[in-house]
Amino acid sequence: MKNLLTLKSFCAVLAMALIISCEPNQDHVAETEVNSLNATANITPEDLEGEWKLSVMEADTLVDLNNDGVYNTNILLETDCFETMGVTFNENGSMITTNSKLDFKAGESNDDFKCLSGRTDNGSWDVKNVNNDERLVITMTIDETTRTHSRILERTANTFAFDISKFESEQYYGNPDGTDAEEVTVLSLEYTRVN
């Protein structure tokens, strides 16, 4: 299988499940829990300061990147190429990311698998409320091109996540024609707090 998945920015999907158990005499407990979650809905820069590691890279299509006959939507279950990917958000608004790239068109015959990992990029970041959506706004210069991206952000106490559309993700993994990744239209990335 041939595939080229490049993620030059840090990435992630947040699968947030809220399970509240309500017993007859505990309605006030459930109400308190819901109100507590609503009170933390606004994300501030302080909520993201620190070190994060990529924990989920979710595609909207099943893929078998390692050719083991098992298909997954979480690309991290298909390769360990992205295990070093992460981001550190500094208090002063600077950031550093560690990125990886899957290249299934490597080698002399363009059908070898190669994992390129460990590249770091620097930039700036902030959290802004835009039309009642909390957004992670990042600016990075990669290959002498400066880009600013604004992503709708979802967060729990220990994770944050955002989606990358097919148009945006093509900037990161190139032309995947003829591969399992050809049908991927959304890539969701989730990061988990390290410290």
Predicted TM-score (pTM) of this structure:
0.72
Of 37 and 178, the structure prediction assigns the larger pLDDT to 178
pLDDT (0 to 100) of residue 170: 55
Confidence class for position 25, pLDDT limits 50, 70, 90:
very low
- Whether the pLDDT of residue 58 is over 50: the answer is yes
Of 32 and 183, the structure prediction assigns the larger pLDDT to 183
**Residue bearing tokens 């290249």:** 103
Give mean pLDDT, residues 116-142. Answer: 91
Mean pLDDT estimate for the chain: 74
Give all domains of the chain, ordered by start, each with its CATH number. 4-15+50-193 (2.40.128)
pLDDT (0 to 100) of residue 180: 60
Confidence class for position 183, pLDDT limits 50, 70, 90:
confident
Task: Say how far residue 78 (Cα) sits from the centre of its chain.
Answer: 16
> Comparing C-alpha atoms, which of 43, 15, 14, 6 is closest to residue 125?
43
Region of 67 (left: φ > 0; alpha: ψ -120 to 50; beta: rest) is left
Read off the tokens for 58: 């979710």
pLDDT (0 to 100) of residue 179: 64
Give mean pLDDT, residues 172-192. Answer: 71
